[in-house]
Amino acid sequence: MVDRIPNPLSKQLILFGAVLGVSALIIGLLVMTEPENQPETQPLVAVKVSPVTVRAINIQPEVLVTGRLQPANRALLRFEISGQLEQRLVEPGQLVEQGKVLLRLHDADARDSLVEATARLEMEKAAKVRDQRLFDIAVKDVALQQEEVKRLQQLGSDSLVSVSRRDQAKQKLLQLQANEAQLRYSVETASARLKSAGAARARAARNLARTGLSAPFLGTVNVVNIEVGDYITPNTVAAELVDLDNIDLYIEVDGTTAAALSLQQTVTMQVNDTTQSGVIVAIRSDPDPTTFTHAVRIRLENKGLLPGTLGTVQLPLQTQTSSLVVPVSSLLQEDGRNYVFIISDQQLERREVKIGTRDKDRIVVTSGLQDGMQIVARDIAALTDGQQVGFFK
């Protein structure tokens, strides 16, 4: 038997493997038993802010409203009678005097009606004179016949006249009295017939005048909707006339703004990069049922302005006393709510507030703040509740 001599290199490899195995086992146990890492709370970094002190002051806020210019006076012209257009005497853009005829219908039928009504009136006048004369004669005839009947009755009592003759006299008296009554009616109603005939003639004269469509005021023809030969009814808008000497800015405002305005109030507006003053001439009291806004018209002198041009006007609202106001830039809006950051002991407190009227770059706070509080004026988007702050010098 031959004894083997141990290899020194093999022993080293075995020892090295054993060491690696033990090390791996120890590392595994450490990993498995390692406690979870707990995040450490980092202190908030102090930031510099721009503070502002809340003060209760008296303010008269203003609102900026945009509207559109329109003619101060606009008329949609319609014929009052039906007919066929004979003459078109104006075109759009033409300046016309008040009373000028713009359009004319065929008027032959209207002229004939006037002639007929005039003739009927003259006949009634003549009939009145005739009936009056006949009535006077009828009164005398009745009186004479009454005397004749009385005389015959006296003779009859002496048997000098027959009963038949007396009856004939009475019958004639009745006929004369009936004729008198008819003439009396004609005389008494003559004035009424004359008035009726006169009204018919006046109506015919008006209808003849209505065959011409005239300008109700000095203005500019804006639209002519009909042509010669067209048949027109009273429902048809034949033409449009506008007054461009004065022009209105038409705007719509909410109820709060409308309540602060008054008629004949002077306001300032911007039109075509120029400043101009105007006077409030109309305020709709009852709001539009769809938009719940009040229509307002502001009149201004037309200095080369055209209808349809946009204009803006500054409208003063009612004065508010002892109102807490803050810069608009100090408000943080989230989910329909408003917040400000109050500065207390160089630390921020985020607080919800209720807001009211806005006046340019500031806004009224109705609840959530008190007079004398200090808040962050701007750059609030990245701020956090409880954050330490410093101040800009």
Could you tell me the CATH number of the domain that includes residue 163?
A: 1.10.132
Q: What is d(CA 375, CA 220) in angstroms, rounded to the nearest whole number? A: 59
Name the DSSP letter for residue 328.
Answer: G
In angstroms, the CA 368 to CA 343 distance is 14
Q: Which range among 18-27, 171-180, 259-268 shows the weakest confidence by mean pLDDT?
A: 18-27
For residue 33, pLDDT beyond 70: no
**How many CB atoms neighbour CB 247 within 10 A?**
26
Residues 196 and 126 in one domain: yes
Asked if residue 41 belongs to a domain, the reply is: no
Domain C-terminal end among 157, 188, 205: 205
Q: What gap in Å lies between CA 16 and CA 19, rounded to an integer?
A: 5
Q: What is the mean pLDDT of residues 88-92?
A: 95
Residue 216 placed within a domain: yes
Same domain, 113 and 185: yes
Does residue 196 share a domain with residue 133? yes
- Which residues sit opposite 298 in a β-bridge? 249, 280
Are 138 and 86 in a shared domain? Answer: no
* 137 and 189 housed in the same domain: yes
Q: What is the DSSP letter of 24?
A: H
Comparing 360 with 117, the larger pLDDT belongs to 117
Residue 12 confidence (pLDDT):
64
Q: What is the CATH number of the domain that holds 271?
A: 2.40.30.170
Mean pLDDT of 34-62: 72
Query: How far, in Å, CA of 143 to CA of 137, rounded?
Result: 10
HSE (side-chain half, CA atoms, 13 Å) at 232:
30
Asked if residue 223 and residue 89 are part of one domain, the reply reads: yes
pLDDT value for 6: 53
Integer Cα distance of 331 and 341 in angstroms: 8
pLDDT in tens, 163-184: 777 788 888 889 988 998 998 9
CA 251/CA 258 separation, integer angstroms: 11
Q: pLDDT at position 42, please?
A: 54
Task: State the total domains in the chain.
Answer: 4
* Alpha carbons 57 and 345: distance in angstroms, whole number: 25
- pLDDT, mean of residues 47-55: 85
Q: Is there a domain that residue 25 lies in?
A: no
pLDDT digits (tens, 9 = 90+) for 97-127: 999 999 999 999 999 999 999 999 999 999 9
* Pair 268, 143 in one domain: no
Q: What is the pLDDT of residue 10?
A: 61
- pTM of the predicted structure, to 2 decimals: 0.58
Task: Say if residue 116 is in the same domain as residue 200.
Answer: yes
Give 2's pLDDT tier (boundaries 50, 70, 90). very low
Last residue of a domain, one of 316, 349, 366: 316
Per-residue pLDDT at 157? 58
pLDDT band at 1 (very low <50, low <70, confident <90, very high): very low
Specify whether 150 is located in the same domain as 166.
yes
The answer to whether 105 and 85 have CB atoms below 8 angstroms apart is yes
pLDDT tens digits, 183-241: 899 999 999 999 999 999 999 999 999 999 999 999 999 999 999 999 999 999 999 99
In this structure, which amino acid lies at residue 205? Answer: A
Residue 70 in domain: no
Helices (H) and strands (E) in the chain, counts: 5, 22
Give the mean pLDDT of the chain. 86
Would the pLDDT of 362 be above 90? no
Residues 68-86: pLDDT tens digits? 999 988 999 999 999 999 9
Please name the helix (run of DSSP H) or strand (run of DSSP E) that holds residue 355, with its range, or none: strand 347-359
* Per-residue pLDDT at 61: 80
Domain that holds residue 194: 109-205
Asked if 258 and 251 touch (Cβ cutoff 8 Å), the reply is: no
Does residue 67 fall inside a structural domain? no
Main-chain phi, psi angles of 69, to 5 degrees: -75, 145
Per-residue model confidence (pLDDT) at position 40:
56
Backbone angle region of 360, left / alpha / beta, with phi > 0 → left and psi within -120 to 50 → alpha: left
* pLDDT computed for residue 59 by the predictor: 82
CATH code of 334's domain: 2.40.420.20
Cβ density class 186-215: b for 16+ within 10 Å, e for less: bbeebeebeeebbebbeebeebbebbbbbb
Give the count of beta carbons closer than 10 Å to the beta carbon of residue 73: 16
Q: Model confidence over 287-336: pLDDT tens digits?
A: 999 999 999 999 988 888 888 899 999 888 888 888 888 998 888 888 88
